[in-house]
């Protein structure tokens, strides 16, 4: 793979990383979103190729065998997520910085791959209670799925120290400002 800069936003589900990433993409033309592949079903309003590449388990696992992923993981039993190498190359070919919105383990895997060319940001909710309320407000999960996500989020919070920067998402406008500053600082420094 060629080398360009990448910015990785990871967080427990419901922490607000997708909202932050969308804001940065809307306000900075040097960035481009890396669309992840997944085997989960699309949520209402999600578009294949824009939000995710929605793949069958068979297709996903065939691409794993073909070494088409920079990283991949079974995030929930039978539900896979991954970063296609072709997606990163596509973004670098148009001269943009790759922005990832991935789960915590995927974020650490990407950081390991790109090292100092990557900024790994851990987006943290102000509390587990706030996270639970955000997930409930989405109204996209059953009570059982919600419970699974909260349990997973609690375990993912332990990964926080492994990231370059922690961004606490308490007040959204302040979080946006901090995210812009992190981005500016990272993009104006050369890789080590």
In the chain, what percentage of residues exceed pLDDT 90?
Answer: 64
Tally Cβ neighbours within 10 Å of residue 42. Answer: 12
The proportion of the chain whose per-residue pLDDT surpasses 70, expressed as a percent, equals 94
Calculate helix-pair angle for 17-27, 172-187, nearest 10 degrees. Answer: 60
* Residue 92: per-residue pLDDT: 94
Residue 1 has pLDDT above 50, yes or no: no
pLDDT digits (tens, 9 = 90+) for 29-57: 999 999 999 999 998 999 999 989 999 99
Q: Share the mean pLDDT of the chain.
A: 89
Residue 27 reports pLDDT greater than 70 = yes
The pLDDT of residue 121: 97
- 94/111 Cα distance (integer angstroms): 22
The model carries a pTM of 0.84
Cα 83 → chain centroid: 10
Cβ neighbours of residue 188 under 8 Å, at least 6 residues apart? Answer: none
Query: How much is the pLDDT for 3?
Result: 60
User: Is 50 exceeded by the pLDDT of residue 119?
Assistant: yes
Q: How far apart are CA 165 and CA 173, in angstroms?
A: 18
Whether residue 67 is predicted with pLDDT greater than 90 in this model: the reply is: yes
Q: Is the pLDDT of residue 149 over 80?
A: no
Give the CATH number of domain 6-37+92-187.
Answer: 3.40.50.300
For residue 164, count other CB atoms closer than 10 A to its CB: 15
């Amino acid at each position: 793979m060629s080398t360009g800069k990448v910015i990785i936003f990871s967080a427990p589900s419901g922490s607000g990383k997708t909202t932050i990433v969308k804001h940065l993409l809307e306000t900075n033309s040097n960035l481009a979103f890396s669309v992840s592949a997944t085997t989960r079903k699309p949520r209402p309003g999600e578009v294949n190729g824009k939000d995710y590449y929605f793949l069958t388990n068979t297709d996903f696992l065939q691409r794993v065998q073909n070494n088409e992923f920079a990283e991949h993981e079974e995030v929930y039993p039978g539900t896979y997520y991954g970063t296609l190498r072709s997606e990163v190359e596509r973004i670098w070919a148009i001269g943009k910085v790759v922005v990832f919105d991935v789960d915590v383990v995927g974020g650490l895997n990407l950081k390991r791959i790109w090292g100092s060319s990557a900024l790994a940001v851990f987006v943290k909710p102000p509390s587990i209670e706030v996270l639970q309320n955000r997930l409930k407000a989405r109204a996209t999960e059953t009570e059982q799925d919600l419970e699974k996500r909260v349990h997973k989020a609690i375990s993912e919070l332990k990964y926080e120290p492994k990231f370059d920067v922690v961004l606490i998402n308490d007040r959204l406008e302040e979080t946006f400002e901090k995210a812009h500053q992190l981005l500016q600082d990272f993009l104006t420094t050369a890789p080590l």
